[in-house]
C-alpha cells in the first residue's frame, strides 16, 4: 500500500510539473503571438492634426527636422521639408529616379545634373537635408508662402500642387520633432530584437543636432538639454527607437516606455536633460 501511495504521489508531481510547464509554454506562446500582431508605427499630433508614419519614415522625418533645429530654422522650414520629402521619396532614401528625373536620388530626389551635388552626397540624408534648407532660406519670405509654393520654389517639380496633400502629416511631425509640441510623438513597437549601441546613437545625435553635451552611462545616453531642444531630441529618440533598440526616453517630467505602449506619461524625469535607455544583451 505504501508503495502504491508513493507511486501516486510521484504521478501527481509529474502531472503538476507538466501543467506548470505547459502553462509556461502557453503563456510564452500568447506573448509571442501578441508581439506578432502589433503593427509597428509612429504617430504625431499637433492641435487637431494627427498623422501616422512607418517607423523608417519617422526616423527620416526626425533627421530632417533635427537638421532644421541645428540650423536654428523655424518649425515651418521643417514642415516644408517633410512635405517635400514625402512627395518626392515617401520619406525613404531611395537610389533611383523617374522619367522626369532619371538621375534623381535620395530623400528629396535631388539631381546631380542640376547642381545638387554628387550622387554620393545626395544619398547622404544629412547632406541632402542641408542642401534643401540652404536653398529654402534663399526663397523670399518662404515662411509666409503656402507650403506647396515654398516647396516648388526649391524643387521645380513637374507637379507643383502635389506637395499640398502632405501638409497635415508634415505639420504634425514637424511640430513634434522640432520640440514645438511636447509629448506629441509616440511609436508603437514590438520588443527589441538586439541590444542597442549608445555610442552609435550619440554619433548620430551629434551629426543631426551638432555638439550637444552628452555622455554614455552604461546602457543610458544622457544628453544635457532643455526647453524645445530637449523635446526635439527626446522625440527624435522615440522616432529612432525601432532602428536603434531603445527601450525608454525620459525628459522634463515625462517618460516614454517602449513596453507600456501608452505613449508619454508623467514621471519624475529631471528637467535640463534627456535620458535615453537602450536594450541590453540577454545574459541567458
User: Could you read off the pLDDT of 108-155 as tens digits, one per residue?
Assistant: 999 999 999 999 999 999 999 999 999 999 999 999 999 999 999 998
Q: How far apart are CA 51 and CA 146, in angstroms?
A: 20
Model pTM score:
0.86
Measured CA to CA in angstroms, residue 109 lies from 105, 114, 224, 241 at distances of 4, 11, 35, 26
What are the residue ranges of helices labelled H in 38-137?
Answer: 55-70, 75-89, 119-122, 125-136
Cα 52–Cα 54–Cα 55 angle in degrees, nearest 5: 115
Q: Is residue 32 over pLDDT 80?
A: no
pLDDT value of position 97: 75
Q: Is residue 82 over pLDDT 80?
A: yes
pLDDT band at 26 (very low <50, low <70, confident <90, very high): very low
Residue 190: other Cβ atoms inside 10 A: 16
Q: How far apart are CA 88 and CA 65, in angstroms?
A: 16
pLDDT band at 283 (very low <50, low <70, confident <90, very high): low
Average pLDDT of the residues in 61-76: 98
Q: Is residue 66 over pLDDT 90?
A: yes
What are the residue ranges of helices labelled H in 104-226?
Answer: 119-122, 125-136, 147-155, 167-177, 198-209
Distance of CA 211 to the CA centre of its chain: 20
pLDDT tens track for 158-193: 666 789 999 999 999 999 999 999 999 999 999 999
Measured CA to CA in angstroms, residue 72 lies from 4, 67, 90, 188 at distances of 83, 9, 25, 30
Nearest in space to 179 (alpha carbons), one of 126, 226, 241: 226
Amino acid at each position: 500500500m505504501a508503495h502504491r501511495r508513493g507511486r501516486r504521489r510521484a504521478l501527481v508531481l509529474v502531472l503538476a510539473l507538466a501543467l506548470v510547464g505547459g502553462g509556461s509554454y502557453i503563456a510564452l506562446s500568447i506573448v509571442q503571438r501578441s508581439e506578432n500582431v502589433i503593427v509597428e508605427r509612429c504617430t504625431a499630433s499637433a492641435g487637431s492634426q494627427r498623422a501616422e508614419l512607418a517607423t523608417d519614415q519617422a526616423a527620416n522625418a526626425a533627421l530632417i527636422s533635427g537638421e532644421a533645429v541645428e540650423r536654428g530654422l523655424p518649425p515651418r522650414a521643417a514642415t516644408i521639408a517633410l512635405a517635400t520629402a514625402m512627395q518626392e521619396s515617401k520619406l525613404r532614401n531611395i537610389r533611383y529616379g523617374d522619367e522626369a528625373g532619371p538621375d534623381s536620388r535620395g530623400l528629396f530626389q535631388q539631381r546631380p545634373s542640376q547642381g545638387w551635388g554628387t550622387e554620393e552626397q545626395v544619398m547622404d540624408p544629412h547632406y541632402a537635408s542641408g542642401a534643401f534648407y540652404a536653398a529654402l532660406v534663399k526663397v523670399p519670405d518662404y515662411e509666409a508662402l503656402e507650403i506647396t509654393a515654398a516647396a516648388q520654389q526649391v524643387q521645380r517639380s513637374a507637379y507643383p500642387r502635389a506637395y499640398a496633400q502632405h501638409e497635415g502629416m508634415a505639420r504634425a511631425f514637424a511640430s513634434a520633432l522640432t520640440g514645438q509640441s511636447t509629448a506629441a510623438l509616440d511609436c508603437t513597437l514590438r520588443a527589441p530584437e538586439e541590444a542597442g549601441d549608445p555610442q552609435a546613437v550619440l554619433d548620430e545625435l551629434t551629426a543631426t543636432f551638432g555638439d550637444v553635451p552628452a555622455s554614455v552611462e552604461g546602457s543610458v545616453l544622457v544628453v544635457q538639454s532643455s526647453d524645445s531642444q530637449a523635446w526635439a531630441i527626446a522625440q527624435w529618440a522615440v522616432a529612432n527607437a525601432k532602428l536603434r533598440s531603445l527601450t525608454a526616453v525620459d525628459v522634463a517630467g515625462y517618460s516614454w516606455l517602449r513596453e507600456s505602449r501608452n505613449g508619454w506619461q508623467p514621471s519624475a524625469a529631471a528637467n535640463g536633460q534627456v535620458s535615453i535607455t537602450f536594450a541590453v544583451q540577454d545574459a541567458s
